Amino acid sequence: MTNTKTKNRNELLPGTLEMLILKTLSIEPMHGYGIAQHIQLLSAQVLTIEEGSLYPALQRMLIKGWVLAEWKISANHRRARFYKLTTAGKNQLGVQESRFSQMSGAIMRVMKTT
Amino acid sequence: MTNTKTKNRNELLPGTLEMLILKTLSIEPMHGYGIAQHIQLLSAQVLTIEEGSLYPALQRMLIKGWVLAEWKISANHRRARFYKLTTAGKNQLGVQESRFSQMSGAIMRVMKTT
DNA sequence: TCTCTTTGCATAGACGAACTATGGGAGTGG
DNA sequence: CCACTCCCATAGTTCGTCTATGCAAAGAGA
């Protein structure tokens, strides 16, 4: 084997996962699987949220008090854990949005110079 | 001590440092200190490149063959290591630019939905 | 001359987010 | 009953960035 395949890591810009989750939940409460689907769909399959990234992120956000979780039954009659934003979570979404736009704006300024 | 101060990590979007360095070097060969200054200046002080991030990144890029290094004398008569892009480095810049714009485009699509 | 600031390079270790790999359970359709 | 999709979760690894620290030499000022 001649190692033709380079690892395809870094599927999404690190540091943006929590923001994407917060944004998704700001539309409506959703379970983990649904969150991943929603982001993938809206991004036209560009962003793929791995389960091994998603659930630890949701745990962190629970601990920080940004979301609340509740076991319910999904549209497909399976038990699922629905997450909803708290007030702190909504604030955090604002913080992350403005920081992201500041950062990406700064990066673009650097990248646009001739 | 009551731990009032939260750590201020994540100053720049992770995963973009190498791209910013490549872009900077595509303008002209530069030494490490100059690269950091250039990025900070162009980003209007928003992006700060820590030395502990910069030099390891340059080492990685040397190993990957994206840059070449040469000891010279800086404008201030100090010895400094000047880095310049290789052909592979220029290609890599293109790759990273297009991937970045694809990613940030996808993120913005998700973030812009009502 | 001595010391301080700025310029400049570099590494070790900590840290944390995201990934890989893996496991299980419970409905649905053939 | 078997495969498939849905849905949750964690252990362990990997990797990039940060903190902290060290060295060294030029120039300014006292």
- Domain containing residue A26: CATH number: 1.10.10.10
B20/A102 touch (CB, cutoff 8 Å), yes or no: no
In a domain, B10, yes or no: no
Residue B112's pLDDT band (cuts 50, 70, 90): very high
What's the average model confidence in pLDDT over A82-107? 96
**A109–B44 C-beta distance less than 8 A:** yes
**Closest C-alpha among B37, B29, B24, B20 to residue A104:** B20
A47 vs B103: CB contact, 8 Å cut-off?
Answer: yes
CB A96 within 8 A of CB B5: no
B5 located within any domain: no
Instruction: End-to-end CA distance of chain A: give it in Å, rounded.
Output: 42
Report if residue B3 sits inside a domain: no
Look up the protein residue whose alpha carbon has the minimum distance to the C1' of C26: A78
A6 domain-assigned? no
What is the tens place of the pLDDT at every residue in B7-40? 354 566 888 999 999 999 999 999 999 999 999 9
The answer on pLDDT for A6 being more than 50 is: no
Interface test with B, best of A20, A95, A97, A110 (most B CBs within 10 A): A110
Q: Does the pLDDT at position A5 exceed 70?
A: no
Per the structure, the residue whose CA is closest to nucleotide C28 at C1' is A76
Can you give the residue range of the structural domain that contains B48? 16-111
- The answer to whether strand D lies under 7 Å from the CB of residue B94 is no
pLDDT tier, A114 (very low <50, low <70, confident <90, very high otherwise) = confident
Average pLDDT over residues B47-68: 96
Residue B73's Cβ-side half-sphere holds a number of Cα atoms within 13 Å equal to 2
- Residue B1: pLDDT band by 50, 70, 90 thresholds? very low
Assess if residue B79 is contained within a domain.
yes
User: What is the pTM (predicted TM-score) of this model?
Assistant: 0.88
Predicted confidence at residue B5, as pLDDT, reads 32
Which uninterrupted H or E stretch holds B73? strand B67-73
| Domain total of chain B | 1
Domain assignment present for A9: no
Residue A76 belongs to some domain of the structure: yes
Structural tokens at position B23: 């872009």
CB-based contact B84:A20 (threshold 8 Å): no
Average the pLDDT over each of A11-15, B42-46, B77-81 and give the range with the smallest value: A11-15
User: Which residue numbers of B have CB closer than 8 Å to A's CBs?
Assistant: 10, 12-16, 19-20, 23-24, 27, 39, 42-44, 46-47, 97, 100, 102-107, 109-111, 113-114
B12 chain-A contacts, CB cut-off 8 A: 103, 107
The average confidence (pLDDT) of chain B is 89
Count CA atoms within 13 Å of residue B70 on its CB side.
8
Give, as one character, the DSSP assignment of residue A49.
-
Looking at the DSSP bridge assignments, the partners of residue A84 are A68
Residue A27 lies in a domain: yes
